[in-house]
Amino acid sequence: MSGLRIPLDGPDGSGTTHAFGLLAPNPSPMTLDGTNTWVIGRGEEMLVVDPGPDDESHLQRVAAHLHGRRVTTILLTHGHHDHSGGAGRFAELVGAPVRALDPGHRLGDEGLAEGDVLTVDGLELHVVGTPGHSFDSLCFWLPEDRAMLTGDTVLGRGTTVIAPDGDLADYLRSLDRLRARAEQVGAEALLPGHGPVLPDPIGALDGYIAHRRRRLDQIRDARGRGAKTPGQIVEIVYADVDRSLWPAAEMSVRAQLAYLDG
Ligand SMILES: [Zn+2]
């Protein structure tokens, strides 16, 4: 039972029985409403996933939400700045180590990788390796709530981009693995790094997978019609998309060309 909370006014305060979302004030075309910080626990020990950007008001608000409970570990879904920028400052505020796949983003001795299990007051969080959006992307499975924290691998709205440090072939494999896992364990919610909670994990993942296949077909098609540069392809394939998103689209096209030509 996930105890899903989906407020109509956005992701702040949404989540499941043991995961509480706090929205950072960094909205943009790339970050949607802003970064979601997730506070997880059911007793005196807490985990915090993605402190968000280095924004003192947000970090103080997350710390205040703990009401004196102890943070045992700060975890990063990946190292992108909008998720990790405030990790150092937050670690200082709550006196906890930062664990991430990328050693460059850790504070303390411990890393984080596929198969690791973190436990607070008997509540488990399982690490799932999902490279693709970035090379260091992880998802976290909260079995008690049947909820998967997806970072930027699956967003609450729209679709994610493959960052320059990501890889589309890895990403497609990660989506397939996530879908298989979600089906196998009966996932009831995805808790994304941006945007609202998704109450239909299989539907959301199927949508993502179909979208990727469709975009690849469109890019093949655009090339067939003579488009050569990423910019020319964006003009054709993303014609119906707001121009403010074209730089992100171009990044995505570059990743797809690398995949098609790889
Ligand atoms: Zn990211």
Which amino acid would we find at residue 58? Answer: H
At 40, list the tokens.
């997880």
DSSP 33-67: T-BEEEEEESSSEEEEE---SS-HHHHHHHHHHTT
Radius of gyration of the chain (CA): 18
Q: What is the mean pLDDT of each run of 10 residues along the chain (262 residues)?
A: 58 87 90 94 97 98 95 98 98 98 97 98 98 97 97 92 90 97 96 94 96 94 95 94 89 91 86
Task: List, edge to edge, every strand of the sheet that includes 147-151.
Answer: 117-120, 123-129, 138-142, 147-151, 189-192
Distance CA 17, CA 233 (A): 44
Interior angle at CA 120, CA 202 and CA 181, nearest 5: 20
For residue 9, the model assigns a pLDDT of 46
d(CA 246, CA 244): 6
Residue 7: per-residue pLDDT: 57
Q: Which run of H or of E encompasses 131?
A: none
Whole-number Å distance, alpha carbon 123 to ligand 1 midpoint, is 27
* 49 alpha carbon – ligand 1 mean position (Å): 14
Specify the residue for token string 């205040």: 64
Query: In angstroms, what is the span from residue 220 Cα to ligand 1's centroid?
Result: 26
CA–CA dist 66, 20 (Å, integer)? 11
- In sequence order, the 6+-apart residues with CB closer than 8 A to the CB of 114 are 127, 128, 129, 138
Give dist(CA 77, CA 105) in Å, integer.
11
pLDDT score at 172: 96
**CB-count burial class (<10 Å; 0-12, 13-18, 19+) for 173:** middle
Interval between CA 163 and ligand 1 midpoint (Å): 7
In this prediction the pTM is 0.92
pLDDT for the residue 199: 93
Query: Nearest 10 degrees: CA dihedral of 150, 167, 171, 151?
Result: 0
Cα 141 to Cα 121: distance, rounded to the nearest angstrom: 16
Active-site residue, selected from the candidate residues 54, 82, 116, 136: 82
**Is 136 known to be catalytic?**
no
Q: Determine the distance separating the centroid of ligand 1 and the alpha carbon of 192, expressed in angstroms.
A: 11
pLDDT for the residue 8: 45
Could you list which residues have their CB under 5 Å from ion ligand 1?
80, 152
CA nearest neighbour of 241 among 256, 255, 253: 253
